[in-house]
Structure 1
């Protein structure tokens, strides 16, 4: 059974990843092009000021120019990057689908709704909230030209820390819901509170990251961030729906064939 669920998760995760890639290509690439244009303009301006300051040193300027041409030749074209978008979302779908299937196999019959399809949808919604929404609220995605390259490591660790907080908060919420006596009117508020409190505390304790340069268009920044969140929403909604439908279909008893 676990092998069947794993194959199902991989295949449907790949499909959902490609669906999310279509959304990201249609909604996100124009925003990314604008951000890259701003980044290139800022780099060209900085390079121009540097070249002007070194104008008296002709040999040094010539060396810098040759080095700039070498770096430019190593750049990956936007066409290649756009094609790689679908590869990235597909691989992301494979990874998430495989992990989700294993987690689902562990949850099935133990917690959550009895219906396989409802359990898949609930697990996908909780996964989206814990893995995507929780870190997004504290550390939203940034387009090119936003962020110091020297702080990539620390920012990545902080983002992963928020993902861990989200997952642990889900575990605390599930444990609370199962241990609180009474009906759903007592369990659900307690579970929500058990989820929200650790997230809020972690958000207050972890350091903020604000590296948006002065003059960067706020509209473009939030369009990029919302598109990034929307891509994840499309993936998790598509995957949860497909996985749940497949599980419900597999759980249906086969109708006996009637001989003519």
Structure 2
């Protein structure tokens, strides 16, 4: 069986990232965007009420006619950005997979790719969401943006460290000759303990929710945002796994196609 070249690896990663970006964009438009529109409407209503209170009848003359960028244009820009970021993440995914595939559980490239994608979702999606859940417009203090960004990066770094330590525990258990069942149990317990430590030691920022913002809007937005990341990583993992599996299974045909 012929060795996979770096060009092929990166190509698979880019295509998988493209699929992840499209999947993420679909969830954005279906689940997240409706909640953003609701939040913007609430924010605009609050601003209009404040203007009316402060300026009286003069506020009636104010409208959004001078709006430079429409919401639809923002949506298109956001969609393009999501796809570009997903392609870049797909490239990173391909590099990490090439270096760590032998350490990942699974009997096929598809299984190993999905395992890596699951880890990526946990590290870059679920763990940060548990510490600093995403909020729609009109929620959150703009002055805490830098703090939230630093906290987000910290959670990811600590989560990556936790994943590395978990693999180290699994390797140690294997070296000690533990039975498969006990090895998996020890590894799973280590993962839970390390994840708990990350959640405990990471600072949590207070995010007061205005009374006028419905609770269901917050939760629908947060669930939708998490589903968006889950869809992206699932598509990247599955797409990369299928492409890699097909090439490894039919190397000659794949090579002919690449040079056609």
Distance in 2 of aligned mates of 1:173 and 1:83: 40
Per-residue deviation, 1:81: 1.3
Gaps of 5+ in 2: 254-260
User: Residues 200-238 of structure 1, C-alpha deviation per residue, up to 9 Å, x if partnerless?
Assistant: 223223332223223321001000000001111111111
CA RMSD of aligned residues (A): 2.4
Q: What TM-score does the superposition give when structure 1 sets the normalisation length?
A: 0.85
What's 1:58 paired with? none
Q: How do 1:221-232 and structure 2 match up within 5 A?
A: 221-232=218-229
Distance in 2 of aligned mates of 1:205 and 1:154: 15
What's 2:257 paired with? none
Moved more, 210-219 or 120-129: 210-219
Given that residues 19 and 239 in structure 2 are in contact (C-alpha distance below 8 angstroms), is that contact kept between their aligned partners in structure 1?
A: no
**In terms of Rg, which structure is larger?**
1
Q: How do 1:30-179 and structure 2 match up within 5 A?
A: 30-52=34-56, 73-179=66-172
Counterpart pick for 1:195 among 191, 195, 199: 191
- The count of corresponding residues between Structure 1 and Structure 2 is 245
Distance in 2 of aligned mates of 1:99 and 1:11: 12
- The list of structure 1 runs, each at least 4 consecutive aligned residues, that deviate by more than 4 angstroms after superposition, is 253-256
Q: What TM-score does the superposition give when structure 2 sets the normalisation length?
A: 0.85
Moved more, 80-89 or 219-228: 80-89
Gaps of 5+ in 1: 56-60
Per-residue deviation, 1:141: 0.8
What secondary structure does 1:145 align onto? Answer: coil
What's 2:256 paired with? none
